[in-house]
Amino acid sequence: MSLSLSRRAARTVQSEIRVMSIECEKIKGINLSQGVCDTEVPEPVREAAKRAIDGGINSYTRAEGLAPIREAIAEKMRRFNGIECDPETEVIVNSGATGSFYAACMALLNPGDEVILFEPYYGYHLNTIVAVEAEPVYVTLRPPHWTFSPEDLERAVTPRTRAIVINSPANPSGKVFSRQELEWIADFACRHDLFVFTDEIYEYFIYEGEHISPATLKGMRERTITMSGYSKTFSITGWRVGYTICDRKWAQSIAYFHDLVYVCAPAPLQIGVAEGIRQLPESFYGQIAKEYVQKRDLLCGTLKEIGLTPSVPKGSYYVLADASDLPGRTSKERARYLLQATGVASVAGSAFYHDGGEDLLRFCFAKNDADLEEACRRLKVLPEKLGAVLKSRA
């Protein structure tokens, strides 16, 4: 027998986003490829975490997380999402929404189960499904408004379908699912008896439309696994604090699988997040959307001006743009061309499709204003550089 990686490992590839971040670092470019969110961490969150460290909250926590954060999350779910949940039995604190999805898939999916995924998709969703040996089945959203129909869902279902993934607001399309679309999904999930995994990490990043948690729709409470976290809302992507809300029937096993990989989310940081939820006023969350809509408009305006027509997102902090005029046969080549020509890193559209996306690039606008303005300034050299390419070909 020769040594080799597992079959599972062979099916998962390094994220194109990390690859572009490394390339960008090499040339000291501006990284609009990764959702790192380098805006400031709110003061109550930072201060409470520091106090927790100094006060000795540095040990493992219960698998479900510390009581203050579970209570704060349950209260927030009632107030903001319209979901009543018991902080003792229906809230699990995770190492980010990433930890939540992984643990939920481990607890609820069997190898060979089919999981419906809208594409363009978030790569971690796909790779997590693959890592637990379930099978992704794609429903492709139609640009420019990323629409789908109930018939698209029916075409994707088979006797092996066990779950469907929703991500609203979505990465990378910026789609905010409408009430009607969510009701189609709810009706579909009930008729076929499916779990619904809903990733709501961008719930406060909405510029048009409203955030609706699928668990609030008819027939959905028991089958819905609601996943979110504070990486984006509090700009703490490196802290790893997220959560799962679900029926108590599933919660214990999800907590157990999370424990197995992560043990717990960092204890003092759980306290920092709990205090942030408790102390920050409603206006803080409203301000997020106000601040990010300006970033969106700046970036989308620039992309339009330089001929990379954007599909203007209704939510999240990404934009997909049409890069079909850039040199290159694939979206990876186009992303590399753009990085070389302007010093701005984006992600190849193919990273979000099982087969396609070659005309698209994704840009992230979760940047502080100075960096985003500099990125836009650099992008504006593109028409001139492209003109030179065209001339040299003539």
Strands 224-229 and 195-199: parallel
**Could you give the 3-state DSSP secondary structure of residue 39?**
coil
| Of the residues 16, 64, 90, 199, which one makes contact with ligand PLP according to CB under 6 A | 199
129 interacts with ligand PLP by CB under 6 A:
no
Selected range binding ligand PLP among 92-100, 130-138, 147-155, 327-335, rule: CB under 6 A:
92-100
Selected range binding ligand PLP among 6-14, 21-29, 91-99, 102-110, rule: CB under 6 A:
91-99
- Closest contact distance (angstroms) between CB of 120 and ligand PLP is 11
Residue 209 is given by DSSP the state S
| Of the residues 31, 140, 231, 235, which one makes contact with ligand PLP according to CB under 6 A | 231
Restricted to residues 35-74, the positions that interact with ligand PLP (CB under 6 A) are 35
241-to-40, 64, 230, 266, 367 alpha-carbon distances in Å: 17, 12, 6, 7, 21
- Closest contact distance (angstroms) between CB of 242 and ligand PLP is 4
Closest by CA to 355, choosing from 126, 113, 109, 164, is 126
Which CB sits closer to ligand PLP, 109 or 306? 109
**How many separate helices (H) and strands (E) can be counted in the chain?**
14, 13
Which residues have a Cβ under 8 Å from the Cβ of 15 and sit 6 or more positions away? 123, 124, 127, 351
Which CB sits closer to ligand PLP, 93 or 326? 93
Which residues have a Cβ under 8 Å from the Cβ of 341 and sit 6 or more positions away? 381, 382, 385, 386
Selected range binding ligand PLP among 94-102, 152-160, 185-193, 213-221, rule: CB under 6 A:
94-102
- Closest contact distance (angstroms) between CB of 173 and ligand PLP is 11
First to last CA, the chain: 57
- Closest contact distance (angstroms) between CB of 292 and ligand PLP is 14
Q: Which amino acid is at 257?
A: F
Rg (CA), the chain: 21
Which CB sits closer to ligand PLP, 33 or 350? 33
| Of the residues 171, 173, 224, 302, which one makes contact with ligand PLP according to CB under 6 A | 171
Selected range binding ligand PLP among 1-9, 51-59, 75-83, 229-237, rule: CB under 6 A:
229-237
Which CB sits closer to ligand PLP, 97 or 271? 97
Q: Which residue number has the CB closest to ligand PLP?
A: 96
- Which two tokens mark 11? 């099916």
Q: Where do the H-state alpha helices sit in the chain?
A: 7-11, 16-26, 43-54, 67-76, 96-108, 123-131, 150-156, 179-192, 248-262, 267-279, 282-305, 331-342, 369-379, 382-393
| Of the residues 83, 97, 288, 344, which one makes contact with ligand PLP according to CB under 6 A | 97
Q: Which amino acid is at 366?
A: A
Half-sphere exposure of 63 (CA within 13 A, CB side): 15
- Measured between alpha carbons, how far is 350 from 361 in angstroms, rounded to an integer? 8
Which CB sits closer to ligand PLP, 98 or 140? 98
Restricted to residues 286-305, the positions that interact with ligand PLP (CB under 6 A) are none
- Closest contact distance (angstroms) between CB of 84 and ligand PLP is 23
The strand order across the sheet containing 347-348 reads: 310-311, 318-322, 360-364, 347-348
Which CB sits closer to ligand PLP, 29 or 96? 96
| Of the residues 65, 136, 214, 229, which one makes contact with ligand PLP according to CB under 6 A | 229
Q: Which residues bind ligand PLP (CB under 6 A)?
A: 35, 96-98, 122, 167, 171, 199, 201, 229, 231, 237, 242
